[in-house]
C-alpha cells in the first residue's frame, strides 16, 4: 500500500519559494530533470577577490545559470543564492548572467528567466559588480529587442535591492510574492544614511507595505502577485511569457506616461495606504492581511487595472 | 587628485560658439552645435542625488530625442551623488524610474543616437548605473571620482579597519572608489585631455561609436587592463556552453 502523507506535500511545486535554495527553485520551476547548468560548481569558478577579505567562497559564486524546459519549451535561466553573500553581484556572479543573456541572442530560447535574490552589489568586488549590472541591463534590452521575453521572479530572502532593483526594472515582466521586496536603497541603508525617523528598518510592516509584493503589484511595478510556492511562480511565469512587451519606443513612451502619472497622482503620499486608498481600495489597512485569493479579488474590483508598461 | 572641472567650463570648451544647455535643480538639459548638426545634452550637476522626479524628467528628454528621429547624439554629463535615499522615493518605485532612464538611453543608442557619457565629478551606485553606465561610451575628465561606496562606509559594512582597506585598495582595483579603478574594470573607456578642445574629442568618440557594432566591450577592456581578470572569460564560457560546445 502506498503511503501518502496528507499534511506535508513532497511535491517540489508545493515548497515555499522563500525557504527554498536557489537550486531547489530552479529544479521545481522547470520541467522535472531538465535543468542543465553552465559552469557548474564542479568547475569551482570561485571569486578571486573574497580571500583578500578572509571571506568564504562558493563553488558557484552564488549564481547558477543554465538551460531547461518549461512546458517542453527551451528557456535559459539564472538563479541567485541569497544565502551566499546576500546574493550580491560580484565579478563571476555578474559575468555568468551577462554570458547567459548574450547566449540568448545566439540560441533564441522561448524566454530568459531571472530568479532574483539579492542585496545588490557585493562591496568587496564593488566596481566589478557595478559594471556587471550595467552590462546585464544593456544585454537585457538587446535580448528583448530580439523578441525574447526576459522575466524576473522575486520572492527570496534577500529580496531584490540595489542594482538588482534596476535590473528587475529592465525585465519585460515581473512576478512577485508576499515575501519579495523590490527597491533600490534597502531599509537599513536609508536608516543608516537618514536616521530612524526617515525609515525604521525594524518596522517590518512598514518595510512590507513600502517595498513588498502587494504594494509593487498595486502600483504596477510588478505584473503578477503569487503565493509563496514554486508552483505558483511556475504558473505565473507561463502566463507572463506570452504577455511580455517588446522593447521599443512605444513601450518606453507608455512607461514614461505611467511613471509621470504616478508622480502627479501620488507624489504627496507619505504611506502606501494613502496610495492604495487613492487607487480606490475601500479598506487599505486590510490589504496586508489579505490572502492571495482575496488580493486577486481586490485587484479585479479596482476601478482600473494597474498599468505596467516596462 | 586634480580638481574637477566646472560644468560651465566644460560647456564653454565643448561649445565655443554657444549652446542652449541649462541646469535646473541639478538637472542638465538642452543641446548645442556639433559639426553640421546638434548634440542633445542631459545630465546631473553639483553632486545632486538622483530621485524619482529627476530620473523621470531626464528620461522624458531622452525619449524626445528618440521620437524626433534622425541620428542626434546624446551627451550625458555626470556629477551626481548616489540615488536619493528616502522612504518616499522607494515608496513610489525608484527602481522603476532609474531603470526607465537607463532603458531610455539604451533605446536611444540602439536606434541610432550614439550616447556618450562624460563623467566630470562624482557619481555612485544607482545614479551611476542609470546614467553614465547606460551610455555606449563612457569617458571621464581628470578629477572625476566615481564610487560604489566610499571607503569609510565599506569599512563599516565589512568590519575591516579603514587603514587595512586603504592598503588593500592599493593592491586591487576591484572594490576601491576612484576613477583609475573604474578605468581598470573597463567601465570608463578613456580619460579625456582637458588641455585640448573637448568638442573634437567628443566628436571622435561619436564617430568611433557609430562605426562599432553594438557589442558591449567593457568586460574585454576590464580583462586587458587587469581590473576584472575573469569576467570576460566567464561570460564567453557561458555562451559557448549554451551553444552546446
Chain B residues with beta carbon closer than 8 angstroms to that of A210 = 87, 90-91
Please tell me the distance from the alpha carbon of residue A222 to that of residue A217, in angstroms, as a whole number: 5
- Residues A172-186 as b/e (b if ≥16 CB within 10 A, e otherwise) read bbbbbbbbbbbbbbb
Beta strands across the sheet bearing B74-83: B20-24, B27-34, B37-50, B74-83, B115-119, B137-140, B190-191
What is the Cα–Cα distance from A29 to A133, expressed in whole angstroms? 25
d(CA A230, CA A26): 9
Report pLDDT digits (tens) over A181-236: 999 999 988 988 889 999 999 999 999 999 999 999 999 999 999 999 999 999 99
Q: How many CB atoms lie within 10 A of CB A307?
A: 15
- What ipTM was estimated for this complex? 0.96
How many CB atoms are located within 10 Å of the residue A238 CB? 14
Inform me whether the pLDDT recorded for A6 exceeds 60.
no
Q: Does the beta carbon of A277 lie under 8 angstroms from any beta carbon of chain B?
A: no
The CA distance from A89 to B175, in Å, is 12
Give the other-Cβ count within 10 Å of A46's Cβ. 17
Grid coordinates of A162: 540595489
Report d(CA B189, CA B202) in Å as an integer. 13
**Distance between CA atoms of B128 and B80, rounded to whole angstroms?**
8
The end-to-end CA distance of chain B, in Å, is: 47
Nearest to A198 among B86, B160, B242 (CB): B86
Closest CA to A16 of A176, A231, A291: A231
Residue corresponding to grid cell 565655443? B16
Cβ of A24 under 8 Å from any chain B Cβ? no
| CA angle B49–B55–B56, rounded 5-degree value | 145
pLDDT at residue B137 tops 90: yes
How many angstroms separate the CA atoms of B204 and A309, rounded? 36
Kindly report, residue by residue over B140-176, the tens digit of the pLDDT. 999 999 988 778 777 877 788 999 888 888 888 898 8
* The 3-state secondary structure of A218-282, one letter per residue: HHCCCCEEECCEHHHHHHHHHHHHHHCCCCCHHHHHHHHHHHHHHHHHHCCCCCHHHHHHHCCCC
Q: Which of B100, B110, B126 sits opposite A145 (nearest CB)?
A: B110
Q: What is the pTM of this model?
A: 0.96
Q: What is the pLDDT of residues B33-67, one digit of tens each?
A: 998 899 999 999 999 999 999 999 999 999 999 99
Select from B73, B29, B105 the least CA-distant residue to B203.
B73
Mean pLDDT of A290-306: 92
Determine the pLDDT at residue B245: 59
Residues within 8 A of B (CB atoms), A 224-243 only: none
Cβ neighbours of B239 in A, within 8 Å = 99, 102-103, 106
Cα dist from B216 to A274, B42, B68, B180, whole Å: 43, 22, 26, 20
Amino acid at each position: 500500500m502506498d503511503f501518502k502523507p496528507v499534511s506535508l506535500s513532497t511535491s517540489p511545486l508545493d515548497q515555499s519559494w522563500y525557504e527554498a535554495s536557489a537550486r531547489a527553485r530552479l529544479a521545481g520551476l522547470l520541467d522535472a530533470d531538465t535543468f542543465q547548468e553552465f559552469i557548474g560548481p564542479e568547475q569551482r569558478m570561485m571569486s578571486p577577490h573574497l580571500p583578500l577579505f578572509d571571506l568564504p567562497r562558493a563553488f558557484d559564486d552564488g549564481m547558477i545559470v543554465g538551460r531547461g524546459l518549461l512546458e517542453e519549451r527551451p528557456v535559459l535561466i539564472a538563479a541567485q543564492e541569497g544565502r551566499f553573500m546576500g546574493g550580491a553581484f560580484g565579478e563571476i556572479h555578474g559575468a555568468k548572467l551577462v554570458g547567459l543573456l548574450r547566449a540568448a541572442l545566439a540560441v533564441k530560447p522561448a524566454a530568459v528567466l531571472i530568479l532574483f535574490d539579492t542585496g545588490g552589489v557585493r562591496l568587496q568586488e564593488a566596481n566589478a559588480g557595478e559594471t556587471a549590472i550595467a552590462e546585464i541591463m544593456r544585454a537585457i534590452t538587446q535580448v528583448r529587442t530580439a523578441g525574447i521575453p526576459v522575466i524576473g521572479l522575486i520572492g527570496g530572502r534577500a529580496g531584490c535591492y540595489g542594482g538588482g532593483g534596476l535590473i528587475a526594472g529592465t525585465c519585460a515582466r515581473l512576478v512577485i510574492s508576499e515575501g519579495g521586496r523590490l527597491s533600490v536603497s534597502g531599509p537599513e541603508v536609508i536608516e543608516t544614511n537618514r536616521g530612524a525617523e526617515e525609515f525604521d528598518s525594524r518596522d517590518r510592516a512598514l518595510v512590507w507595505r513600502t517595498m513588498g509584493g502587494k504594494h509593487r503589484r498595486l502600483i504596477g511595478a510588478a505584473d503578477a502577485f503569487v503565493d509563496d510556492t514554486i508552483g505558483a511562480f511556475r504558473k505565473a511565469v507561463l502566463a507572463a511569457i506570452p504577455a511580455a512587451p517588446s522593447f521599443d519606443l512605444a513601450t518606453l513612451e507608455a512607461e514614461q506616461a505611467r511613471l509621470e502619472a504616478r508622480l502627479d497622482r501620488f507624489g504627496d503620499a507619505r504611506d502606501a495606504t494613502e496610495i492604495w486608498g487613492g487607487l480606490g481600495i475601500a479598506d487599505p489597512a486590510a490589504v496586508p492581511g489579505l490572502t492571495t485569493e482575496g488580493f486577486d479579488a481586490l485587484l479585479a474590483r479596482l476601478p482600473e487595472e494597474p498599468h505596467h508598461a516596462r | 587628485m586634480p580638481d574637477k572641472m566646472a560644468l560651465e567650463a566644460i560647456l564653454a570648451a565643448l561649445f565655443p560658439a554657444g549652446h542652449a544647455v541649462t541646469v535646473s535643480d541639478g538637472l542638465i538639459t538642452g543641446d548645442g552645435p556639433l559639426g553640421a548638426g546638434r548634440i542633445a545634452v542631459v545630465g546631473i550637476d553639483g553632486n545632486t542625488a538622483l530621485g524619482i522626479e529627476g530620473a523621470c524628467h531626464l528620461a522624458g528628454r531622452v525619449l524626445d530625442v528618440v521620437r524626433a528621429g534622425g541620428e542626434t547624439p546624446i551627451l550625458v554629463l555626470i556629477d551626481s551623488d548616489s540615488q536619493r535615499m528616502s522612504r518616499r522615493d522607494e515608496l513610489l518605485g525608484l527602481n522603476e524610474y532609474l531603470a526607465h532612464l537607463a532603458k531610455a538611453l539604451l533605446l536611444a543608442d540602439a536606434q541610432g543616437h550614439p550616447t556618450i557619457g562624460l563623467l566630470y565629478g562624482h557619481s555612485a551606485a544607482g545614479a551611476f548605473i542609470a546614467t553614465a553606465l547606460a551610455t555606449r561610451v563612457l569617458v571621464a575628465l581628470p578629477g572625476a571620482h566615481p564610487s560604489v561606496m566610499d571607503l569609510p562606509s565599506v569599512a563599516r559594512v565589512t568590519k575591516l579597519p579603514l587603514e587595512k582597506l586603504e592598503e588593500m585598495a592599493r593592491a586591487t582595483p576591484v572594490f576601491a572608489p576612484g576613477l583609475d579603478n573604474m578605468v581598470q574594470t573597463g567601465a570608463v573607456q578613456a580619460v579625456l585631455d582637458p588641455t585640448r578642445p573637448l568638442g573634437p574629442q567628443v566628436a571622435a568618440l561619436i564617430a568611433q561609436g557609430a562605426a562599432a557594432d553594438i557589442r558591449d566591450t567593457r568586460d574585454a577592456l576590464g580583462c586587458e587592463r587587469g581590473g576584472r581578470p575573469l569576467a570576460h572569460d566567464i561570460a564567453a564560457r557561458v555562451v559557448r556552453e549554451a551553444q552546446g560546445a
